Amino acid sequence: MASNSLTGRGRWPQPDSFLSGLGSELGSGEAATGGRWLAMMGGTALGVIGLRRSGWGGAMLALGGAGLFAVGALGLRPLGERSLRAVPNPGAWRSVPASRRRSLTPERTQAVVTIASEPGAVFRFWRNFANLPKLMPQLERVDVLSATESRWLAKAASGGEGPSWRCVLDRVDEDRLLTWHTVGETALPHRASLMLSPAPGDRGTEVRLTLVYRVPATEVAALLGVTPEGQAEEALRRLKQRVETGELSTIERQPRGNGSGSFREATE
Amino acid sequence: MKALCWNGTNDLRVERVPDPVLVNPHDVIVKVALSSVCGSDLHLIDGYVPTMRPGDIIGHEFLGEIVEKGPEVRYLNRGDRVITVSIIGCGHCGHCQHGESSLCDNSNPNPDYARTAYGHCGAGIFGYSHAFGGYAGSHAEYIRVPYADFNAFRVPEGVSDEKAVFVSDAVPTGYMAADMAGIKPGDVVAVWGCGGVGQMAIRSATLLGAERVIGIDRFPDRLRAAQMKVGAETLDYSRVDIFDALQAMTGGRGPDVCIDAVGMEADSASNAAEDLYDRAKQAVGLQTDRPAVLRQMIESCRKGGTLSIVGVYGGLIDKFPMGAAMNKGLTFRMGQQNGQRYADRLFEHIRNGDLDPSYLMTHRLPLDEGPQAYRMFKEKADDCLRVVFAPQG
Ligand SMILES: [Zn+2]
Ligand SMILES: [Zn+2]
């Protein structure tokens, strides 16, 4: 993977390359070994903690641990990977000079969802880039500058000003395909596409969002507060809900207790 | 307002919490008149559902009056007396459009737990842990109902609150168990579990053409109710061998349809060794659910028969007799209830006297007695079938 080839360290993953390796697909060389190793170690630890703890919470932990261990040992994609990826590690790439921080091979993420709608509604919603902050909560706003140009401003993941970039649309194939890429100086150079195709039967439209960042996933996460995978999945989930229902399901602002009530055993 | 909150395993408290507010344009706020306990709540209270958080308001079967509505709500009005289906659908995704609202793509705002554990996420459920969306439940004075036009149903004139409240959960769950089993005239149906859902499954099986229905339980009051109220023949599994009894009653064929209205906390009093095995494995986390009923259904069912499962399972089970299931050519149907598909039909059955679920309400109590009420319900004390809270007093 990019991290290992850049740092040129030995066979076993070092802390920084190891973490960045988690951002890649498992099954590709040493980074994959790292992911599996972590899953097995984490699985064992969870299992041990779980068994030592009393009660059902412990039992569930132990179960989770056992499962994670099995996943690691068998070399499958660990269930915990999603949460591991979501942890940004700003330090991971510090030791490498800025000019060399670009990934040699761009990292590609794709998410897909089926939306119960004609492609037109989906396409029109996305085509207006000013709508995109509704789908990507990490964006502050997108200013549409012309028919093909837009300026994107992200929220700051950790204080100060968020990253920004300019985008140019390059392909607009009505109700089928939209591709765009960043131009000029930016900390997050990337290109992206939204592809629509009819689902079989009356199942609506299959929507594929592809993000190709020229920086590693860990760096995207550090700057944007979300990994490319998380960004793509969340955007499509929100797109689907917006188009299908006109709103976003939520449990915001709903009441909950704070343990202040009188304690009474519900059962024996 | 007052609400019954889960604070930990076997720790329920009545607390003062803020009133719910409209959040989305399709929401309504319902002032809860009746809110029933449900057997599946016991899995939460017992700590078998892992994504509960202290402070969560439980309860998912309720009836009340709409007191506020969002700007996009079209078919409901303030003052409407409604039941709300316990499993939330959005009304628009492919599953909701095809009558499988419990598989809704959009109503669970917290899909990652379920996607990690199950591959895909199902619908949100009121008061049923964060894996099912983390929605606040109905054991409270007020509740917010999302996608209200799809999930709330006006109760027809002439149907009392006591009959209507169970159309929220117990009746459609039982009805769906019978419906998806594809019962044909002349079929013999066996129903494991004679709680509220099991009894509704028994009645529904008869409505859908079953020749005989056999209810299985060990609590005398439930067996009596299954016999007297919904016309089942009954078997007490603590006294007879269920396999032998069912074969004897069906000329050695076995029941055509077997319905599981028990779920993950099944016990097998007729087989102490098996029960101990399952409880031990569950205790150390090597399985999450006890499959005693499933094993018994697979063994007892006729060759080529159908198993219909509406008892709730959460995770993994062990020693699942797949060989028997495959070689006997069994069909499995299962799922959380799709009440939106059945509500109108069920109100019609209630109106013309085919169905009267009101007898399930053996106890009606104020919300303040929530913790004791759940204890009574769990221990099946005082012939308790279902406690229903009246949060407005
Ligand atoms: Zn229920
Ligand atoms: Zn839906």
DSSP assignments along B146-157, one per residue = SSHHHHEEEPPT
Compare all CA atoms of chain B with the CA of A249 and give the residue at the minimum distance. Answer: B109
User: How many beta carbons lie within 10 A of that of residue A185, not counting itself?
Assistant: 8
What is the DSSP pairing of strand A149-154 with strand B2-8?
A: unpaired
Listing DSSP states for B69-90 in one string gives E-TT--S--TT-EEEE-SEE--
Which candidate from B23, B72, B140 shows the least CB-CB separation from A253?
A: B23
For chain A, the helix, strand and coil percentages under 3-state DSSP, each to the nearest 5: 40, 20, 35
Q: State the smallest CA–CA distance between residue A129 and chain B in angstroms.
A: 23
User: How far does residue B270's CA lie from ligand 2's centre (Å)?
Assistant: 42
CB contact under 8 A, B134 and A251: yes
Exposed e or buried b for every residue in B340-362, given b needs 16+ CB within 10 A?
Answer: bbbbeebbebbeeeebbbbbbbb
| Cβ-based contacts of B141 with chain A (< 8 Å) | none
Among residues B221, B201, B219, which one has the least CA distance to residue B210?
B201
Pairs across A and B, CB distance < 8 A: 167
Nearest C-alpha neighbor of B205 from the set B229, B185, B228, B225: B185
Q: Would you state the torsion angle of the CA atoms of residues B372, B373, B374, B375, taken in this order, to the nearest 10 degrees? A: 50
Are residues B371 and A264, on separate chains, in Cβ contact within 8 Å? yes
How far does residue B121's CA lie from ligand 2's centre (Å)? 11
Task: Please tell me the pTM assigned to this model.
Answer: 0.83
Rounded CA-CA distance A50/A156 in Å is 37
Contact A56 B9 (CB under 8 A): yes
pLDDT band at A266 (very low <50, low <70, confident <90, very high): low
Read out DSSP for A92-153? Answer: GGTTS-GGG-S-SS-EEEEEEEEESS-HHHHHHHHHSGGGHHHH-TTEEEEEE-SSSEEEEE
Minimal C-alpha gap between B28 and chain A (Å): 13
pLDDT tens digits along A32-90: 333 433 343 344 344 444 443 444 444 444 454 444 444 434 444 433 333 333 333 33
> What is the distance in angstroms between the Cα of A149 and the nearest Cα belonging to chain B?
32
pLDDT at residue A74, rounded to an integer = 43
Q: Read off the pLDDT of residues A166-206 as tens digits, 9 standing for 90 and up.
A: 999 999 999 999 999 999 999 999 999 999 999 999 899 99
Q: Give CA–CA dist B27/B142, Å, rounded.
A: 13
Tokens standing for A87?
Answer: 């942890």
Q: Does the distance separating the beta carbons of A260 and B16 come in below 8 Å?
A: yes
What pLDDT does A28 receive?
Answer: 37
Q: Which of A116, A245, A265 sits opposite B371 (nearest CB)?
A: A265
SS3 state of residue B100: coil
Provide the percentage of residues in chain A whose pLDDT is more than 90: 53
**Which chain A residues are closer than 8 Å to B374 by Cβ?**
266-267
Residues 183-212 of A with CB under 8 A from B: 203-204
Closest CA to A231 of A211, A252, A245: A211
Shortest distance, CA A114 to any CA of chain B (angstroms) = 9
At residue B24, the pLDDT reads: 98
Tell me the nearest-neighbour CA distance from A238 into chain B, angstroms: 9
Distance from CA of B131 to the nearest CA of A (A): 13
Looking at the DSSP assignment, which residues form a beta bridge with residue B306?
B257, B331
Of A241, A257, A267, the CB nearest to B15: A257
Contact A264 B72 (CB under 8 A): no
- pLDDT of amino acid A59: 47
87-126 of A, contacting B, C-beta below 8 A: 114, 116
Would you say residue A27 has pLDDT above 50? no
Does A257 contact B5 at a Cβ distance shorter than 8 Å?
A: yes
Closest CA to B61 of B157, B174, B191: B174
- Band (pLDDT 50/70/90 cuts) for residue A102 is low
Selected for mutation to probe chain B from A68, A236, A247 (highest B CB count within 10 Å) is A247
Q: Which pLDDT score, from 0 to 100, does residue A14 have?
A: 32
Q: Write down the mean pLDDT value for chain A.
A: 72
A70 touches chain B (CB under 8 A): no
pLDDT tens digit at each of 393 positions of chain B: 999 999 999 999 999 999 999 999 999 999 999 999 999 899 899 888 889 999 999 999 999 999 999 999 999 999 999 999 999 999 999 999 999 999 999 999 999 999 999 999 999 999 999 999 999 999 999 999 999 999 999 999 999 999 999 999 999 999 999 999 999 999 999 999 999 999 999 999 999 999 999 999 999 999 999 999 999 999 999 999 999 999 999 999 999 999 999 988 777 655 677 777 777 777 766 676 788 999 999 999 999 999 999 999 988 888 899 999 999 999 999 999 999 999 999 999 999 999 999 999 999 999 999 999 999 999 989 999 999 999 997
Asked whether the beta carbons of residue B92 and residue A82 sit closer than 8 angstroms, the reply is no
Which residues of chain A have a CB within 8 Å of the CB of B117? 79
